[in-house]
């Protein structure tokens, strides 16, 4: 099914980013764990933290993808009521993500 494939792809990308970030960070010998806010991912940052941070972002987006696919699936099945319910959940998730975007 498309959903399985999409989730696996998302997971694969996320884990590739996490793993490569961990390897880069280990070789770069970063001393201490540093907090990384979402918006800092797109600014100046060491490569290891950036890769790991992007991996976490992609990971966090996989449930969002899952909900989006369900919206589309239920529209296709003409179940508009549940498509709208799912769209509301999607909107809630997007609002949550928006917290991380600089005002």
Partner 1 sequence: MFGRQLVLAGLGVAAGLLGALVGVGGGVLVVPGLVLLFGVDIRVAVATSLIAVVATSTAAGSVYVGSGTANMRLGMTLEVATTLGGITGGLLAAWIAPSVLGALFGVMMGITAVLMFRARESHAAATATEGPRAGWEDTAHLGGGFVDERGAVVAYHAKRIPLGLALSLVAGVASGMLGVGGGIIKVPAMALGMRVPFKVAAATSNFMIGVTAASSLFVYFARGDVHPAIAAPTAVGVTVGALLGTALSHRIAPKALRRVLAVVLLFAGVQMFLRVFGVTLGR
Contact residues for partner 1 (CB under 8 A)?
1, 3-4, 7-8, 10-11, 14-15, 18-19, 21-22, 25-26, 28-31, 33-40, 48-49, 52-53, 55-57, 59-64, 66-67, 70, 77, 79, 82, 85-86, 88-89, 92-93, 95-97, 99-100
- Among residues 10, 17, 40, the alpha carbon closest in space to that of 101 is found at 40
- C-alpha span between 58 and 61 (Å, rounded): 5
- What number of residues does the chain have? 103
CA 28 to centroid of chain Cα atoms: 25
The CA angle 16-21-26, to the nearest 5 degrees, is 130
Distances (CA, A) of 75 to 17, 83, 85, 103: 33, 6, 11, 33
């Amino acid at each position: 099914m498309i959903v399985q494939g999409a989730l696996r792809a998302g997971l694969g990308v996320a884990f590739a980013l996490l793993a490569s970030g961990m390897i880069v960070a280990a070789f770069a010998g970063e001393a201490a764990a540093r907090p990384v806010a979402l918006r800092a991912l797109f600014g100046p940052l060491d490569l290891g933290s950036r890769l790991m941070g992007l991996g976490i972002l992609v990971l966090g987006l996989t449930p969002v993808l899952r909900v989006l696919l369900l919206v589309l699936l239920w529209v296709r099945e003409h179940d508009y009521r549940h498509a709208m319910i799912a769209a509301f959940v999607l909107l809630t998730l997007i609002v949550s993500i928006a917290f991380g975007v600089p005002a």
